[in-house]
Protein backbone atom coordinates (compact mmCIF):
# COMPACT_ATOMS: atom_id res chain seq x y z
CA UNK A 1 0.00 0.00 0.00
CA UNK A 2 1.89 3.04 -1.20
CA UNK A 3 -0.71 5.68 -0.34
CA UNK A 4 0.54 9.24 0.23
CA UNK A 5 0.15 8.96 4.00
CA UNK A 6 1.94 5.62 4.34
CA UNK A 7 4.95 6.12 2.06
CA UNK A 8 7.42 7.41 4.66
CA UNK A 9 6.67 4.91 7.38
CA UNK A 10 9.72 3.02 8.69
CA UNK A 11 10.25 -0.37 7.02
CA UNK A 12 10.56 -3.54 9.06
CA UNK A 13 14.06 -5.06 8.96
CA UNK A 14 14.49 -7.52 6.10
CA UNK A 15 16.73 -10.55 5.50
CA UNK A 16 20.11 -8.83 5.75
CA UNK A 17 19.74 -7.82 9.41
CA UNK A 18 19.00 -11.25 10.93
CA UNK A 19 21.49 -13.95 11.92
CA UNK A 20 20.90 -16.84 9.53
CA UNK A 21 19.36 -20.01 10.92
CA UNK A 22 17.90 -23.21 9.40
CA UNK A 23 14.33 -21.89 10.01
CA UNK A 24 15.00 -18.92 7.73
CA UNK A 25 16.63 -21.14 5.15
CA UNK A 26 13.74 -23.65 4.98
CA UNK A 27 11.18 -20.82 4.76
CA UNK A 28 12.99 -19.13 1.86
CA UNK A 29 13.59 -22.52 0.22
CA UNK A 30 9.83 -23.19 0.37
CA UNK A 31 9.11 -19.97 -1.53
CA UNK A 32 11.94 -20.44 -4.05
CA UNK A 33 11.01 -24.06 -4.85
CA UNK A 34 7.29 -23.21 -5.00
CA UNK A 35 7.65 -20.23 -7.30
CA UNK A 36 10.30 -22.06 -9.33
CA UNK A 37 7.89 -24.93 -9.95
CA UNK A 38 5.07 -22.50 -10.76
CA UNK A 39 7.10 -21.31 -13.76
CA UNK A 40 9.49 -24.09 -14.82
CA UNK A 41 7.51 -27.06 -13.48
CA UNK A 42 4.10 -26.11 -14.84
CA UNK A 43 5.72 -24.95 -18.09
CA UNK A 44 7.34 -28.34 -18.66
CA UNK A 45 4.08 -30.06 -17.60
CA UNK A 46 2.10 -28.20 -20.29
CA UNK A 47 4.85 -28.77 -22.87
CA UNK A 48 4.75 -32.51 -22.09
CA UNK A 49 0.93 -32.71 -22.34
CA UNK A 50 0.87 -30.52 -25.46
CA UNK A 51 3.60 -32.61 -27.11
CA UNK A 52 1.69 -35.84 -26.38
CA UNK A 53 -1.54 -34.39 -27.75
CA UNK A 54 0.30 -32.98 -30.78
CA UNK A 55 1.47 -36.38 -32.02
CA UNK A 56 4.72 -38.39 -32.39
CA UNK A 57 6.68 -35.58 -34.10
CA UNK A 58 6.05 -32.98 -31.39
CA UNK A 59 6.69 -35.59 -28.68
CA UNK A 60 10.03 -36.42 -30.34
CA UNK A 61 10.97 -32.71 -30.10
CA UNK A 62 10.05 -32.72 -26.40
CA UNK A 63 12.05 -35.91 -25.80
CA UNK A 64 15.07 -34.43 -27.58
CA UNK A 65 14.89 -31.21 -25.52
CA UNK A 66 14.64 -33.13 -22.26
CA UNK A 67 17.58 -35.41 -23.14
CA UNK A 68 19.99 -32.47 -23.63
CA UNK A 69 22.05 -31.57 -20.58
CA UNK A 70 20.02 -28.39 -20.04
CA UNK A 71 16.84 -30.48 -20.17
CA UNK A 72 18.26 -32.98 -17.69
CA UNK A 73 19.19 -30.16 -15.28
CA UNK A 74 15.66 -28.74 -15.60
CA UNK A 75 14.04 -32.14 -14.95
CA UNK A 76 16.29 -32.94 -11.97
CA UNK A 77 15.72 -29.38 -10.70
CA UNK A 78 11.94 -29.69 -10.95
CA UNK A 79 11.93 -33.05 -9.14
CA UNK A 80 14.22 -31.64 -6.40
CA UNK A 81 11.96 -28.56 -6.08
CA UNK A 82 8.94 -30.85 -5.75
CA UNK A 83 10.39 -33.12 -3.06
CA UNK A 84 11.87 -30.17 -1.13
CA UNK A 85 8.61 -28.22 -1.34
CA UNK A 86 6.72 -31.37 -0.32
CA UNK A 87 8.87 -31.83 2.79
CA UNK A 88 8.72 -28.17 3.87
CA UNK A 89 4.97 -28.22 3.07
CA UNK A 90 4.47 -31.26 5.32
CA UNK A 91 6.42 -29.31 7.97
CA UNK A 92 3.88 -26.48 7.53
CA UNK A 93 1.04 -28.97 8.14
CA UNK A 94 2.64 -29.95 11.47
CA UNK A 95 3.10 -26.29 12.40
CA UNK A 96 -0.52 -25.55 11.35
CA UNK A 97 -1.89 -27.86 14.05
CA UNK A 98 0.34 -26.17 16.62
CA UNK A 99 3.05 -28.84 16.83
CA UNK A 100 6.82 -28.46 16.52
CA UNK A 101 7.25 -24.94 17.86
CA UNK A 102 9.69 -25.91 20.64
CA UNK A 103 13.05 -24.32 19.72
CA UNK A 104 15.05 -27.56 19.46
CA UNK A 105 12.28 -29.46 17.62
CA UNK A 106 11.69 -26.59 15.21
CA UNK A 107 15.40 -26.30 14.46
CA UNK A 108 15.74 -30.05 13.98
CA UNK A 109 12.92 -30.31 11.41
CA UNK A 110 14.19 -27.18 9.64
CA UNK A 111 17.46 -29.04 9.06
CA UNK A 112 15.91 -32.45 8.29
CA UNK A 113 13.28 -31.30 5.72
CA UNK A 114 15.68 -29.98 3.03
CA UNK A 115 17.95 -33.01 3.53
CA UNK A 116 14.98 -35.37 3.03
CA UNK A 117 14.11 -33.39 -0.10
CA UNK A 118 17.54 -34.17 -1.59
CA UNK A 119 17.40 -37.82 -0.43
CA UNK A 120 13.95 -38.35 -2.00
CA UNK A 121 15.12 -36.73 -5.26
CA UNK A 122 18.14 -39.06 -5.37
CA UNK A 123 15.93 -42.07 -4.58
CA UNK A 124 13.44 -41.08 -7.31
CA UNK A 125 16.15 -40.81 -9.99
CA UNK A 126 17.81 -44.02 -8.79
CA UNK A 127 14.47 -45.82 -9.23
CA UNK A 128 13.95 -44.23 -12.68
CA UNK A 129 17.43 -45.04 -13.97
CA UNK A 130 17.71 -48.54 -12.44
CA UNK A 131 14.29 -49.70 -13.58
Partner 1 sequence: MGNGTSIGRVRGLGAARGGVVHHWLLQRFTSIGNLLTVLFLAVSLVLLPDYNYATMVEWIARPVPALAMILLVITTFWHARLGLQVLVEDYVHEHGNKFACIAALNLAACAGIAFGVFCIVRLALGAHA
Chain positions contacting partner 1, by CB under 8 A? 1-2, 31, 34-35, 37-38, 41-42, 45-46, 49-50, 52-56, 59-60, 63, 79, 82, 86, 89, 93, 96, 124, 127-128, 131
Give the residue with the Cβ less far from partner 1, 19 or 55. Answer: 55
SS3 19: coil
Which residues have a Cβ under 8 Å from the Cβ of 29 and sit 6 or more positions away?
84, 88, 114
Q: Shortest CA distance to 77 belongs to which of 89, 63, 66, 64?
A: 66
For partner 1, the closer CB: 17 or 127 = 127
Work out how close the CB of 4 gets to partner 1 at its nearest, in angstroms, rounded to a whole number: 12
Contact 30, 85 (CB under 8 A): yes
* Residue 23 is labelled as binding a ligand: no
CB of 104 to partner 1, least distance (A): 26
Counted residue by residue, the chain has a size of: 131
Calculate the alpha carbon distances from 75 to 4, 16, 65, 110 in Å: 46, 32, 11, 25
Judged by beta carbon, residue 25 or residue 124, the one nearer partner 1 is: 124
To partner 1, the closest distance from the beta carbon of 33 in angstroms equals: 10
- Round the CA-based radius of gyration of the chain to a whole number and report it: 20
Nearer Cβ to partner 1, position 21 or 54? Answer: 54
> Which residues are annotated binding-site positions for heme?
85
> Which residues are annotated binding-site positions?
85
Amino acid sequence: MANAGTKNRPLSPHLQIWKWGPHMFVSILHRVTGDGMAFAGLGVLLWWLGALAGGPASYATFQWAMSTWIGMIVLVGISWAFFSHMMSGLRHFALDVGAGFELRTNRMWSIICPILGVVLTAAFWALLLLR
